[in-house]
Chain A
Amino acid sequence: MTAFRADPAEENTMTATDGSRAGERELLPVASAARVRAALRELARPHRTAALCGLAVLVAATGTGLLTAPVLGHVIDLVAQGRPASAVTAPVVWLAVIAVAQGTMTALGVSLVARLGEGMLATLRERFVDRALRLPLERVERAGSGDLTSRVTNDVSVITTAVREGMPSLARSVLTIGLTLVGLAILDARFALVALVAIPFQVHTVRWYVRHAVPLYAAQRVAVGAQQQRLLGTIGGASTVRALRLTGEHVGLVGRASQAAVDLALRGTGLVTRFYSRLNLAEFAGLSAVLATGFQLVRDGQVSIGTAGAAALYFHSLFTPINIALSLVDDAQAASAGLARLVGVAGVAGETDEDPREAPSRARGPVPHGPPIRVRGIGYAYRAGHPVLRDVSLDIAARERVALVGASGAGKTTLARLIAGVHRPDSGSITVGDAAPGPDGVPAGRHVALVTQEVHVFAGTLADDLRLARPGADDDELHAALERVGALAWARALPEGLETTVGENGHRLTPAQAQQLALARLVLADPPAVVLDEATAEAGSAGARVLETAAAAAIEGRTVLVVAHRLTQAASADRVVVLSDGEVAEVGTHRELVRAKDRYAALWEAWSDGRRP
């Protein structure tokens, strides 16, 4: 019995051992600014024509719009010169024509800019998902799965907002500002020069803002994330909270997390309002400078009153586009941070030997059904100096069913994951079939499927979910796979049968049904070898038996390694491997090991004690 005491430092605790304190997590990388720029250039390349056309049209639109002020100035001059009222009609007609032309061209230009931005965004998100799904699982786990999820949800949505709302208004604002200055210069170069008085105020304000806003918004994102996490934990565990009468405590915890987020949000508001207040100063400085200049020039007889009026109107109409452009600094900042995080992940895939173009399910060499698996002297540690497996060697014959047994913490799950190719051994090699091991001791290609207690029902129809495992499968094949794992009856009874939407926002499957679905996928994927880890543990004891029957059907004809929790699984296996403290302690058939009266026998004794009539 003592031999099975848990080794203090291992097995399934891996995410706890290196993931429990945020500081110890090795988050996925973030790309440098230069790499982000390069990635953007590359994304923009196919849309170059659309981008140039869009820009040209927008420049024309903005330029046309700027004709409004001089035409108004002309009206003022006509009035000042005491011309008859009918003289204003012609320039006013021009105002209307300008408006129609500007509207049309703006619509066209914005559409083209949107095509550029949206096209780039779509390519980027596709590329990200492609890389993310091909990341080595080990890498994802070191980072914590939340890292990847937050990139695919938060970062993508921040960039989407920036592209969808920020880009068109930024393009238009910047063009308006630029061309207005040009317009001012045409009226009189001195107007444009004094208008620049506002710039130092604006530059200073933006720099001040960015300096304060970046760390504050980072803290705010963390607080909002913590609030979300807290709510999800509390609400997801509501029935536990009620059962243990923890309601008051949890409302308090949610309140604290929410208050922290509120406080930071209000600090952010303080910052934003100060930002705009300071920009008002720039507006005032610029406007008074333009008015004073107009005064001077009119008095010296260098420009007409109309021109001075037009200049003032020009400058006044700059307020809004400048505010829009500067306020987008915020979005741009967030979007570029998100972009760096997305591009960063794309870089990881490049570092691994898992070629993104090669479908990992396809074997490099042909592997017959039920290949032998040879494990030679492998060692593995999640943390240096704390080996979980030490010099483990193991042979699984073709189509053999081997059960892996041992106390919690003996290294069962780790060994299972190594054989399934999720982790790379630190030393030793694993061979599946006749394929030679790769350079890192990983089995070449992926022939070993892994089914764990973690189930996920993909959002979409049940048929789509199943077809993930075999894209071309027809309905008969789907039915056969469901039948084999004993799931056809409930699948047919769903409101729309195989076409029922399941997963998030869809029909909710029970944990046992979800696990049966996982086994049906396994049948369809039809891998030569399988590792089952706690695949039947989650359903509770009554459901477990249904699942065990289903699992037995799904793995027939394959080479199988089962991480056994119920010793009945071990008793029915061809052979049993007992792991203890990261080493192979015993190997043999159930009968042999029971007769050997060693560790397995003790374990069996404990298990079957209460079972004997």
Chain B
Amino acid sequence: MRVPAGGRDVLRRAITGQWRHTAGGAALAAGHQAGEALVPVVIGLVIDEAIAPGDGGALARWIAVLALVFATLSLSYRFSYRAAERAAERAAHDLRLDLTARILQPRGGAETGRLPGELVAIATQDAKRVGAVHIALTAAIAALAGLLAGGVALLRVSVPLGLLVLLGVPPLLLLAHLLGRPLERRSGAEQERAAHASGVAADLIAGLRVLKGIGAEATAVDRYRRTSRDSLAATLRAARAQAWHDGGMLMLTGVFIAVVALVGGRLAAQGDISVGQLVAAVGLAQFLLTPLSILSWANGEFAQGRASATRIASVLAAPYAVTGGGDGLPLPVRGRVRLREVFCGALRGLSLEVAPGELLGVVTGDPEVATSLLRVLGRSADPSPGAVELDGVPLSGVDPAEVRRAVVVAEHDADLFEGTLLDNVAAAAATPEAVPAAMAASAADEVAGALPYGAATPLTERGRSLSGGQRQRVALARALAADPAVLVLHDPTTAVDAATEARIAAGVREARAGRTTIMVVTSPALLAVADRVVFTDGGPSAAVGTHAELVHDNETYRATVLA
């Protein structure tokens, strides 16, 4: 994936990626507009050549021509719009996938400072807006064609009348645009306030359980009513302004048509043009307003598309969280992990050594230290200064995806995904056979047993259908099934009951026998099965020993794990 420089680049790539559809669509749409322009012309011809002289044969001929015009405009509309829509949807789809790939890129960095909901909105709404530029582009090209056709037709009727319309329409629309501009700006702000009401409602519904828990429903309803009334007032102001703007447009176009009728009527009275041509001219003057307003609409769409493209570009071009280092790891990975005076986040000179196959417990009283440690171990962040080495190779020189092939970091709040329980556990499994063993070791088999369809039960809303303890066990099973050379577990059992936790501790020890495992925990049940425990505050000095020794000798440690 090439990283685009900015919004303009995103927009340009989206358009060039679909140019075939857009070009074909625009050609057909031009046919449609030209057809629409011809309808009043044909009406005028019917009046002149059939109705005025009372010629029945001419009537039949011209109605046949009208049928032809309608067939052409109808079919070209049909296929042009389809082509434009296809281009729009495909471009949006491609952008969506580019964004997803960037966000999930092993080097990370795209989520920094953005909530998931915001990123999803960019991948859906903004991608859609950029895609919609194709529709605007098609429509704009067609509108230009319509303008051209209408203009030529008018000039053929009468040069002064044609010039009047063609030169009169642009200033008219410019005037309308200028009138509309302050309105647009103001109503934008007011619509935002109006949208606020539905945002507040969704927020209250999302917190429904919390509101119910403390009996705050009535207060929340009162609060919502006030927000809703404020919104209503803002919306009404915006609607009123919009109505007067539209009314003003009606006046302007009406007066314009009157001027065309005045000039055309005088020309016709002087015998310069026929009655039918007068009818056609008035019809064309009305028609020409449409392509011109399409152009101004398309202009608005382009502006929105540009803004969306800029947001997309800022995600696609977000700096990586870790840069440099694209090497592989020497295989097989033995699993010797060493931290050399690592500084990163809350880590201030931490050194640590883990032997291959060791089951190490790391205890810290500061959650930030735990988070930072996990980040450097999984190369979500690089230490500076300091180094994290695996089998003597600094991780900062290794491709992050390769690091995670050897080192799996199972975070405390790891997410489950849509799919069955088994899908989740098997998602990253080293081999299919690893799955049942991992489920037994993490007591996830009990979770499956409690579900209506066992391990085949689908999990909804990121596993929210499970309780906290059940989710943790499934996530642990997934990590164990991955069977990496180095496994880092972070508080995997905080919501699990004590008896199950003891079983899990034994299960983890057995499942990880001979493989390096680092448990960043404060659970005595897990610490008791560790070969060695390091008690750290992120600084250079750390207390090391078995769990029993540390409990015995270190009062702070005792307070931290035995609260």
B465–A288 CB distance below 8 A: no
In the bound complex, CA of A453 to CA of B467 (Å): 10
Which of B144-152, B168-176, B385-393, B521-529 interfaces with chain A? B521-529
Which one, B6-14, B252-260, B324-332, is touching chain A?
Answer: B252-260
Contact residues in B for A15 (Cβ distance below 8 Å): 460, 464-465
Contact between chains at B468 and A534 (CB < 8 Å):
yes
What are 16 of the A-B contact pairs (CB < 8 Å)?
A12-B470, A13-B470, A21-B458, A75-B261, A85-B270, A88-B261, A92-B258, A108-B243, A122-B197, A145-B208, A230-B418, A273-B79, A408-B446, A504-B203, A538-B468, A541-B494
Which chain B residues border A503 with CB–CB below 8 Å?
203
Complex: A545 Cα to B562 Cα, angstroms: 10
Q: Answer whether A542 and B417 are a contact pair too, CB < 8 Å, given A227-B124, A361-B216.
A: no
Asked whether A6 and B367 contact (CB < 8 A) given A12-B467, A237-B415, the answer is no
Known: A6-B450, A79-B269, A254-B97. A231 touches B123 (CB 8 A): yes
Output the least CB separation between A521 and chain B (Å): 6
What separation, in Å, do the CA atoms of A512 and B51 have in the docked complex? 84
Q: Which of A7, A87, A108, A245 has the most CB of B within 10 A?
A: A245
A452 touches B209 (CB 8 A): yes
Judge whether B124 and A228 touch: CB under 8 Å: yes
B232 contact from A119, A238, A469, A548, Cβ within 8 A: A119
The yes or no answer to B43 lying at the interface (CB within 8 A) is yes
- Decide if A251 is an interface residue (CB 8 Å cutoff): yes
> Is A183 an interface residue, CB under 8 A from the partner?
no
Of the candidates B40, B100, B378, B428, the one whose C-beta lies within 8 Å of that of A231 is: B100
Cα of A89 to Cα of B264 in the assembled complex, Å: 11
Residues B465 and A19 in contact, CB atoms below 8 Å apart: yes
Could you say which residues of chain A place their CB within 8 Å of the CB of B413?
511, 540
Once the chains are docked, how many angstroms separate the CA of A239 from the CA of B461? 17
Q: What string of 1s and 0s marks CB contacts (under 8 Å) between B211-223 and chain A?
A: 1111111111111
Instruction: Please provide the chain A residues from 237 to 295 with a CB less than 8 Å away from any CB of chain B in the complex.
Output: 237-247, 249-251, 254-255, 258-259, 262, 265-266, 269-270, 272-274, 276-277, 280-281, 283-284, 287-288, 291-292, 294-295
Q: Which residues of B255-277 are within 8 A (CB) of A?
A: 255, 257-259, 261-262, 265-266, 268-270, 275-276
Q: Is B184 an interface residue (CB 8 A)?
A: no
B201 x A129 contact (CB < 8 A) = yes
Minimum CB–CB distance for B231 against chain A, Å: 7
Q: A276–B77 contact, CB under 8 A?
A: yes
**Taking the nearest CB of chain B, how far is it from the CB of A360, in angstroms?**
5
Q: State whether the Cβ of B236 lies closer than 8 Å to any Cβ in chain A.
A: yes
The residues of A that contact B89 with a CB separation of less than 8 Å are 262, 265-266
Q: How far is the CA of A83 from the CA of B265 in the complex (A)?
A: 10
For the complex formed, measure the closest distance between the CB of B477 and the CB atoms of chain A, giving whole angstroms: 12
Q: Report A12 CB to chain B, min CB distance, Å.
A: 3
Q: A99-B254, A100-B254, A149-B202 are in contact. Are A262 and B93 (CB under 8 A)?
A: yes
Please give, as numbers and ranges, the residues of chain B lying within 8 Å of A464 by CB-CB distance: 223
Within 8 Å by CB of A251, from B90, B97, B401, lies B97
- SS class, residues of chain A in contact with chain B: helix
B376 within 8 A of A: no
Query: Which B residues are CB-close (under 8 A) to A244?
Result: 404, 408, 427-428, 478-479, 482
Residues of A within 8 A of B270 (CB): 85
Taken residue by residue from 513 to 551, chain A's Cβ proximity to chain B (1 for < 8 Å, 0 otherwise) reads as: 000001001100101000000100111111111001000
Task: For the A-B complex with A79-B278, A291-B50 known, give 11 more contacts whose Cβ atoms are closer than 8 Å.
Answer: A16-B459, A68-B257, A115-B239, A126-B221, A126-B224, A129-B201, A153-B201, A232-B462, A288-B67, A409-B446, A468-B211
Is B105's beta carbon under 8 Å from chain A?
yes
Q: Check B367–A542 contact: CB distance below 8 A.
A: yes
Q: How large is the interface on B (under 10, 10 to 19, 20 to 34, 35 or more residues)?
A: 35 or more
B202 contacts across to A, CB distance below 8 A: 149, 152-153
Question: Which chain A positions have C-beta within 8 A of B73?
Answer: 280
A408 to chain B, nearest CB (A): 5
B105 touches A247 (CB 8 A): yes
Q: For A277, A408, A505, which residue has the most chain B Cβ atoms within 10 angstroms?
A: A408
Cβ contact within 8 Å between B104 and A251: yes
> Which residues of the partner chain A approach B239 to less than 8 Å between Cβ atoms?
110-111, 114-115, 118, 164
Cβ of A137 < 8 Å from any Cβ of B? yes
Interface segment, one of A32-40, A186-194, A604-612: A604-612
Give chain A residues whose Cβ lies under 8 Å from the Cβ of B46. Answer: 291, 295, 312
A459 interface hit (Cβ, 8 Å): yes
Asked if B250 and A102 make an inter-chain contact with CB atoms under 8 angstroms apart, the answer reads yes
Determine if B224 and A102 form an interchain contact, defined as CB atoms under 8 angstroms apart: no
Is A129 a contact partner of B204 (Cβ separation < 8 A)? yes
Name the residue of chain A whose CB is nearest to the CB of B368. A542
Stretch of A330-338, A367-375, A443-451, A488-496 at the chain-chain interface: A443-451
Residues of B within 8 A of A85 (CB): 265-266, 269-270
Q: Does B198 contact A (CB under 8 A)?
A: yes
For B69, give the chain A residue with the smallest CB separation.
Answer: A284
A545 pairs with B563, CB closer than 8 A: yes
Task: Please tell me if B27 contacts chain A, counting CB pairs below 8 Å.
Answer: no
Q: Are B494 and A305 in contact (CB under 8 A)?
A: no
A251 to B123, alpha carbons, bound, how many Å? 12
Binds A, one of B158-166, B349-357, B547-555: B547-555
Contacting pair A446 B250 (CB below 8 A): no
Least CB separation from A608: chain B residue = B524
Contact B450 A10 (CB under 8 A): yes
CA distance A291 to B212 in the complex (A): 68
B85 to chain A, nearest CB (A): 4
Give the residue of B67, B104, B123, B525 whose beta carbon is less than 8 angstroms from that of A607: B525
Contact with A122, one of B228, B276, B378 (Cβ below 8 angstroms):
B228
Binds A, one of B297-305, B306-314, B335-343, B495-503: B495-503
How far is it, in angstroms, between the C-alpha of A148 and the C-alpha of B89 when the chains are bound? 29
For residue B517, CB closer than 8 A to chain A, the reply is no
Cβ A125 vs Cβ B198 within 8 A: yes
B43 CB contact (under 8 Å) in A134, A243, A312: A312
Partner of B521, one of A230, A251, A541, A612: A541
Contact partner, A313, options B96, B283, B367, B528, Cβ 8 Å? B283
- For A540, give its contact among B56, B412, B450 (CB under 8 Å): B412
A589 at interface, CB cutoff 8 A:
no
**Of A108, A240, A308, A413, the contact of B415 (CB 8 Å cutoff):** A240
Residues of chain B within 8 A (CB-CB) of A180 are none
Chain B's nearest CB lies how many Å from the CB of A159? Answer: 10
**Across the interface, do B250 and A144 meet the contact criterion of CB distance under 8 Å?**
no
Contact A258/B78 with A103-B254, A168-B243, A232-B120 known, Cβ cut-off 8 Å? no
